[in-house]
Structure 1
């Protein structure tokens, strides 16, 4: 009888333990989303985090400096998604690293601008002037498209969006394109006629888009910023919810009011993001 009682007690304890494990497993599925970001959009993401918490979605923001590539961190599994790049930059990274990181939603367009402390109009740029551009392939290419839109150069036929001296077809003013690290583009302004500065870098340097002498308009489609994750995670429900929150009216209003036109909220489909190269065909 005593043995039966002990056996019965063990069965009960095992059942309680199983229920406890079930709760633990259930809790582990509702994990905190780790999102890798950089400083220029931290205010937006702090607001997104607050909105997500109201919706029952827990977010941890992982601040990454310029010396750390958030795509590498993503591939290593240390974060669930990142939000720091435009879709053309992601395409370049995937090509170079044979990786498969995918966009899951659009965030903003941060228009690229031409800034100068020597000239007030694009028409004042003289012959043989030096123009500084970011030296990574995608933003270098983006800069060439911007210079084309400004009427200073023409890019080659079948332009693929990436930079290089060989991507310039016509250069009537014989401009010298000077590739520099993107983070230094504000600092080299004193040494060049004009500098093409990424919007996030410009914001950190204290510039508003209205301070530029020329900036993007209809060239921006390949340069829509995104939330990105690995291919195997692209259909996760928590990431879909994150995109929905980011694209909400509350977040859009916050971006518009906070950044005074430097960042423009965008809501485009993932299919449009993945087919961004079609924008080059009309150039």
Structure 2
């Protein structure tokens, strides 16, 4: 994925509205990890209304990778609860358009593609709990390296619903053992953004062959005294789109999230 961050303010001075404006103006094209600290970032799935109920059931059956934090009205590009000026057609840095289960294009806006039958789902994103990890003094490797988080397809199947079925996708962040325990404790407080990890340690046990070759995102170094920690990921629906072979669907590009006006602290369970 290209990553253009032209004339951006320092990250700690960006808020959700600022990031959306930069995306809308074409000045931000790429991943949003580390941008707008304190603000909830979301995965985006846009589907025709005739399959929206099936997808909602899929999310309900798979709450770890697909925690729903917002749903639009059919045909509306707005979800006011996530941002007063939020426009789903323009405010994500990079989109993916799927046709018959195949990635067809990656536009920077959806104005020419928007239809009156489309329903949008916004799902919680692990970028939100990264702030809590960093605030506790833990290094989040993808943030410190300035790259997109590595994401992997696993051998863990999701619970199917209607045409939607496929493998669980996970993000990976390496920690020393004591820090991994702390990361579990911290992220358990955020069930709306994937919550606690789904796996720690040996990647081969969940079907991952090589940590240096993620299916999405960028590789990060893992030291000899660190263990990989895996969280359910909101890119899971993109793997599911391929299997469902829907005639038409839209998602965000991995790592290029919708940044909202909701504060991360509002999603903490405790």
**TM-score bracket for the superposition, by shorter chain length:** under 0.3
Q: Which has the higher strand share?
A: 2
TM-score by length of 2: 0.26
TM-score by length of 1: 0.25
- Using CA pairs below 8 Å that are at least 6 residues apart, which structure has the higher relative contact order? 2
Q: Who wins on radius of gyration, i.e. which is larger?
A: 1
Q: Which has the higher helix share?
A: 1
